[in-house]
A and B are shown apart, each in its own frame.
Chain A
Amino acid sequence: MARPESPPLLRLEDLHASYGPIAALRGLDLVVAPGELVCLIGANGAGKTSTLRAISGLLPPARGRIVFDGREIQGDIPAAILKAGIAHCPEGRRVFPYLTVEENLAMGAYVRRDRIAIAADVDEVCRHFPILAERRRQMAGTLSGGEQQMLAIARALMARPRLILFDEPSLGLAPTVVETTFAIIADIRRRGTTVLMVEQNAYAALRMADRAYVMETGRIVLEGAARDLLDDDHVRRAYLGG
């Protein structure tokens, strides 16, 4: 067990949540240490997206605790959780199609009040993703899938988070763009932001992550160093195609 030594940045304890009568999370335990890149893998419907939605406040948990940086945040509204330092880059990118690229970035900084720093961050993000600078005044809906993914990531960064949740960042993207996206995520982690990622491309996710959790029917069934899980028989059979 490669449990991290330092106190965790995020800790989920016995988390339960449901959509109406349908239970999505049934006693989930998970920790993420500061600076780690942790990935969460599992079959469709295992509860991966629900886990992220519970953390960011979109799916208020019925039971259990979510502790971020030593403070319980379960039951807080999304705005408060974002202010605490958790940004969520949702599945399917979900850029605002009829806002410009610039307006989308501004939405990412919605909870911030420091106008000058926000403007500086927009410039910084545009330097980092030149394609966004080029398309600054274009509607986000006119961007290609890969460009939209960059915009979604940049938008999440605009909140200056300490932890970013990525939900299926490679879904529906062309293979070359997938590579770029993973490189961007690796870079974000290198620059000090902690990452919790849900990814259907388990092989790629395990290769870049420090640790990983395997989820089945709303709870964790396996955890460990990503390297070890790549060699695990069960993981190979179920998620890596033999």
Chain B
Amino acid sequence: MEQLLQHLVNGLVLGGTYALLGIGLTLIFGLMNVVNFAHGEFYTLGAYAAFAALGWAGVDFFTAVLAAIAAGAALGWLCEVTLLRPLRSESIDTTMLVMIGVWIAMQNGELLVWGGVAKSIPHPFPTAPLVLGPVAIAPLRLFVLLIAAGLIAASWLLIQKTKLGRAMRATFQDRDTAALMGVGIGRIHAATFAFGSALAAAAGALLGPVFLAYPSMGDLASLKAFSVVILGGLGNLPGATLGGLLLGVAEELGAGYISSGYRDAVGFVIIILVLLFRPAGLFARQERIA
């Protein structure tokens, strides 16, 4: 029982960051119809940006996380404006290929700048775990979970309660009519891509110190993000949140009770089952981007 609780807590920490990755990807996919294969690279970028801010700029850890989020947003925006905007009327395959190109370019860029050796990102938290009743959690992991929860809540507020979020939902539901209302579709796309990329970078900056930063770390993150989108349903924000948490917990349980070597396999078995039996997503409702 204690072991189960411990696995659940570890699963939530992992799942919270999966949810961040998934929310970003599901918004980009749902709203822009872009299959963003570079999504994981923004996760890598987040980890390296935090590393660079700590090492080169010498700022404190929390500022470094903020800098990573800002870097993700800035590069995401740039990516949309320079690469995706000219291709807005092209087919989904074209933009997918472009994003595969971005993936390769970014990953090799990271390799060029930081080399292939994994970097450890320093953090100010004590390593001794906090013991809360039956479970123990490292302070850094608790921080990751809290920040992830905060960012998920902030995303929800942005989508549900702001004028920008309303315009994003309207654009998702009916692009032509949203344009008739005066919504600048280009601006909405840029904001969506920047926002989704910022969330991925946040996940990278949060998990980077937990694990290590290395150039190909984003590959698996991309796969996880796509898994979360499949679990949650396209453009479904609560679905991505629940899907992320579910995936994290399932992986942790698989790793704990079967074998740690099967951690990723457990996730993908779930995806295969979902695609077989509920292809619209576990939480499919009519409503999307909400």
Contacts and interface: CB of A to CB of B under 8 A. Distances in A.
Given A106-B166, A107-B166, A110-B167, A96 B173 contact: yes
The number of chain A residues touching the other chain, given as a range, is 20 to 34
A67 to B, nearest CB: 20
A9 interface: no
Contacts of B166: 99, 103, 106-107
A98 to B, nearest CB: 5
Contacts of B182: 78-79, 82-83, 110-111, 159
A97 interface: yes
B180 interface: yes
Contacts of A103: 166, 169-170
Contacts, number: 65
Interface in B158-176: 163, 166-167, 169-170, 173-174, 176
A106 B181 CA distance: 10
B97 interface: no
Given A98-B288, A99-B166, A107 B181 contact: yes
A29 to B, nearest CB: 24
B173 A107 contact: no
Interface in A85-101: 88, 90, 94, 96-99
Contacts of A79: 179, 182-184
A90 B289 CA distance: 23
Residue from the set A94, A107, A141 with the largest chain B CB neighbour count within 10 Å: A107
B2 interface: no
B184 A96 contact: no
A98 B287 contact: yes
Contacts of A106: 163, 166
Contacts of B176: 58, 90, 94
Contacts of A141: 286
A77 interface: yes
A134 to B, nearest CB: 21
Contacts of A108: 181
A78 B179 contact: yes
Nearest to A152: B177
A193 interface: no
Nearest to A97: B173
Interface string B134-171: 00000000000000000000000000000100110110
A98 B286 contact: yes
B173 A90 contact: no
Interface in B253-290: 286-290
A96 B177 contact: yes
A74 interface: no
A90 B180 contact: yes
Contacts of B174: 94, 96
B242 to A, nearest CB: 19
Residue from the set B176, B179, B180, B181 with the largest chain A CB neighbour count within 10 Å: B180
A107 B167 contact: yes
A83 B184 CA distance: 13
A181 interface: no
Nearest to A165: B180
B159 to A, nearest CB: 12
B237 to A, nearest CB: 12
Given A58-B176, A90-B177, A107-B178, A96 B183 contact: no
Contacts of A148: none
A107 B179 contact: no
B177 A94 contact: yes
Contacts of B289: 98
Contacts of A110: 163, 167, 181-183
Given A82-B181, A96-B177, A159-B182, 20 more contacts: A77-B184, A78-B179, A78-B180, A78-B182, A79-B184, A82-B182, A88-B180, A90-B176, A90-B177, A90-B180, A94-B174, A94-B177, A96-B170, A96-B173, A98-B173, A98-B289, A110-B182, A111-B181, A139-B287, A141-B286
22 contacts: A56-B180, A77-B184, A78-B179, A78-B182, A82-B181, A82-B182, A83-B182, A90-B180, A94-B174, A94-B177, A96-B173, A96-B178, A97-B173, A98-B288, A99-B166, A99-B170, A103-B166, A106-B163, A107-B167, A107-B178, A110-B181, A159-B182
